[in-house]
């Protein structure tokens, strides 16, 4: 593989394709290796180096993108802080409010491993504190441990480069979305958002929901999925 491309081939994700996938994702049973501890996330083989912070910054600058477009500064004047964080300021950065972590429920972590093995060294998966953000009355409980964002990853000069905010690209994103959708094992999808569309179990398809400024609310740069 060469340098991760700056521009992806645009693939039309038509309404007809969504209609063909209107039925619910497969309800999983018999998950392989369910008794085993989940493997590492975003870890590549010994033959491939992970980019250093200096390398990563250089790649980001070459791509002409902000460090993490999802976590640009966003105003929270009208949104209440999450429970237990009432003393924090009302104007904060998204990264300060929602720091990245990888603390998934074991079956979700195994799901992430299955997806990443289908696309070696091409994706970056993470969750974060209050993912999605606390937003009453719609969201008043935490889904951190069962929510995943799939961003882009790739090889640059023989090193793996992946990070929260790296666009996954339309072509790869659609392949990853279909792999998530058709995964035959538990856990089951509660909702999934990709490329301007959102599927919710029991309700079907709709447009992507609103999100804070520069949050990739349309999910054209990353895939969000939350599990039951």
Residue 189 pLDDT > 50: yes
Q: Return the higher-pLDDT residue of 25 and 51.
A: 51
Residue 120 pLDDT > 50: yes
> What is the reported pLDDT for 101?
93
Q: Which phi and psi (to 5°) does residue 185 adopt?
A: -115, 165
> What is the reported pLDDT for 18?
47
Residue 127 pLDDT > 90: yes
Please state the pTM of the whole predicted model.
Answer: 0.80
3-state secondary structure of 208: coil
> What is the reported pLDDT for 74?
39
> What is the reported pLDDT for 118?
94
CB-CB contact of 193 with 222 (8 Å) = no
- Which residues share a beta bridge with 148? 225
Categorize the per-residue pLDDT at 54 as very low, low, confident or very high, splitting at 50, 70 and 90.
confident
How far CA 136 is from CA of 51, 94, 142, in Å, comes to 39, 17, 12
Residues shown for the chain: 228
> What is the reported pLDDT for 85?
67
Categorize the per-residue pLDDT at 119 as very low, low, confident or very high, splitting at 50, 70 and 90.
very high
Q: Mean pLDDT across the chain, nearest whole number?
A: 78
> What is the reported pLDDT for 158?
85
CB-CB contact of 199 with 22 (8 Å) = no
Calculate mean pLDDT across residues 138-148.
91
Q: What is the pLDDT of residues 3-36, one digit of tens each?
A: 333 333 333 444 445 444 445 666 666 787 787 7
Single out the residue of 125, 134, 114, 133 nearest to residue 173, CA to CA. 125
Residue 55 pLDDT > 80: yes
Which residues have CB under 8 Å from 13's CB, separation 6+?
170, 174, 195, 197
Q: What residues does each domain of the chain span?
A: 44-227
Q: Return the higher-pLDDT residue of 82 and 16.
A: 82
- Which residues share a beta bridge with 161? 154
């Amino acid at each position: 593989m060469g340098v991760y491309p700056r521009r992806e081939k645009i693939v039309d994700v038509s309404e007809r394709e969504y209609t063909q996938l209107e039925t619910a994702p497969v309800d999983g049973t018999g998950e392989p290796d369910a008794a085993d501890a989940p493997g590492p996330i975003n870890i590549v083989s010994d033959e491939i180096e992970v980019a250093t912070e200096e390398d990563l910054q250089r790649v980001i600058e070459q791509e002409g993108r902000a460090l993490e477009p999802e976590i640009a500064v966003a105003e929270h004047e009208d949104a209440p802080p999450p429970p237990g964080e009432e003393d924090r300021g009302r104007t904060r950065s998204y990264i300060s409010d929602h720091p990245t972590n990888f603390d998934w429920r074991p079956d979700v972590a195994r799901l992430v491993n299955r997806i990443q093995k289908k696309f070696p060294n091409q994706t970056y998966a993470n969750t974060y504190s209050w993912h999605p953000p606390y937003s009453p009355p719609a969201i008043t409980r935490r889904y951190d441990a069962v929510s995943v964002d799939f961003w882009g990853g790739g090889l640059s000069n023989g090193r793996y480069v992946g990070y929260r905010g790296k666009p996954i690209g339309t072509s790869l994103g659609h392949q990853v979305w279909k792999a998530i959708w058709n995964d035959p094992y538990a856990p089951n999808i509660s909702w999934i958002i990709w490329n301007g569309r959102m599927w919710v179990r029991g309700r079907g398809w709709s447009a992507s929901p609103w999100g804070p400024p520069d949050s990739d609310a349309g999910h054209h740069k990353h895939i969000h999925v939350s599990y039951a």
